[in-house]
């Protein structure tokens, strides 16, 4: 995997801020998104900002101020704002953020420093609990959004469109819970449809809307009942999951 020049430049700048306290820098989300262009055009950054995590020995207000001044140039270079986490804090946060940090552990490339995750592990019970919270939150959002749409098919279409990316993230979390390493959103949707015994496309058609896609009001009226029922079934599946 080719590391973008912008990430290499970021590493040099962080060395200037943290010195030897910068223990590791990783770029993550490579399989989950197109964060890293294997051959970016000169003068152009990847369509999706490259995401990075810097593990440091310590993190002070002075460090944050020094990094804050550089954020605009990082964004201009095609980088998302880096995550800065003291190494010890990261290790103790895996149970609190099992999905977020677990995804980084599962999908990253070390840019510099020692490989930081050799001893990192996320408990399946923590992932299951986080998946349940994510699934129940998604279900509540869909129900609330439907009420607020008040019968307006255009508003319902917007609700479905805006929920597509969170749904894809939810399905990726469930796939991770089951030990799957496939980060392809359509594949995760097909897997969920199989385990939930849903007709093909029930949730896959929603996942396809992530991004700039739009649907007509009539299509939203057709999609929503099955979509809502599928998420209800997904909540029950995750709630009862016990290492199937």
The more confidently predicted of residues 62 and 186 is 62
Whether 37 shows a pLDDT value over 60: the answer reads no
pLDDT value for 119 = 82
Number of domains in the chain: 2
pLDDT tens, position by position, 116-166: 998 888 888 999 999 999 999 999 999 999 999 999 999 999 999 999 999
C-alpha 32, offset from chain centre = 8
Query: Is the pLDDT confidence value at 178 over 70?
Result: yes
List 27's β-bridge partners, or say none. Answer: 52, 109
On whether residue 15 sits in a domain, the answer given is yes
Please tell me which residue, 227 or 94, carries the higher pLDDT value: 227
Residue 193's pLDDT band (boundaries 50, 70, 90)?
A: very high
What is the distance between the alpha carbons of residues 192 and 200, in angstroms, rounded to a whole number?
Answer: 10
* Residue 98 sits in the same domain as residue 165: no
The pLDDT value recorded for residue 77 is 96
> Is this structure's pTM higher than 0.85?
no
**Sheet harboring 83-86: ordered strands across?**
83-86, 51-56, 22-28, 108-113
Instruction: Using the predicted structure, report yes or no on whether residue 20 has a pLDDT greater than 90.
Output: yes
Containing structural domain, residue 151: 124-239
The 8-class DSSP code of residue 118 comes to T
Distance separating alpha carbons of residues 89 and 68, to the nearest angstrom:
21
- Shared domain for 229 and 131, answered yes or no, is yes
Both 69 and 175 in a single domain?
A: no
Judge whether 54 lies within some domain: yes
Answer yes or no: do 109 and 16 share one domain. yes
Could you tell me if residue 10 is inside a domain?
Answer: yes
Contacts of 124 (CB under 8 A, 6+ apart): 177, 243
Q: Is the pLDDT of residue 29 over 90?
A: no
| Residue 51: strand, helix, or coil | strand
Instruction: Please report, for the domain that includes residue 66, its CATH number.
Output: 3.30.460
- Are the C-beta atoms of 165 and 209 separated by less than 8 Å? no
Q: Where are the alpha helices (H) located in 19-152, listed in sequence order?
A: 61-68, 71-76, 87-93, 98-106, 124-149
């Amino acid at each position: 995997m080719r590391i973008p020049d912008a990430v290499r430049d970021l590493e040099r700048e962080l060395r200037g801020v943290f010195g030897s306290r910068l223990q590791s820098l990783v770029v993550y989300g490579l399989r989950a998104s197109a964060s890293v262009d294997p051959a970016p055009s000169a003068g152009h950054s990847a369509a999706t900002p490259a995401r990075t995590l810097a593990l440091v020995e310590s993190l002070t207000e002075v460090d944050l101020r020094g990094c804050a001044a550089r954020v605009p140039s990082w964004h201009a270079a095609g980088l998302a704002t880096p995550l800065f986490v003291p190494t010890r804090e990261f290790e103790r946060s895996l149970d609190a953020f099992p999905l977020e940090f677990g995804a980084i552990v599962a999908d990253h490339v070390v840019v510099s420093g020692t490989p930081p995750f050799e001893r990192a592990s996320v408990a399946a019970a923590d992932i299951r609990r986080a998946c349940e919270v994510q699934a129940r939150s998604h279900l509540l959002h869909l129900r609330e959004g439907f009420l607020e749409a008040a019968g307006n098919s255009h508003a319902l279409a917007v609700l479905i469109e805006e929920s597509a990316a969170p749904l894809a993230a939810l399905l990726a979390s469930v796939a991770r819970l089951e030990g799957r390493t496939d980060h392809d959103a359509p594949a995760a949707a097909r897997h969920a449809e199989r385990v939930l015994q849903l007709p093909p496309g029930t949730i896959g058609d929603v996942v396809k809307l992530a991004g700039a896609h739009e649907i007509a009001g009539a299509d939203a009226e057709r999609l929503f009942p099955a979509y809502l029922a599928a998420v209800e079934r997904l909540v029950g599946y995750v709630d009862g999951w016990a290492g199937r």
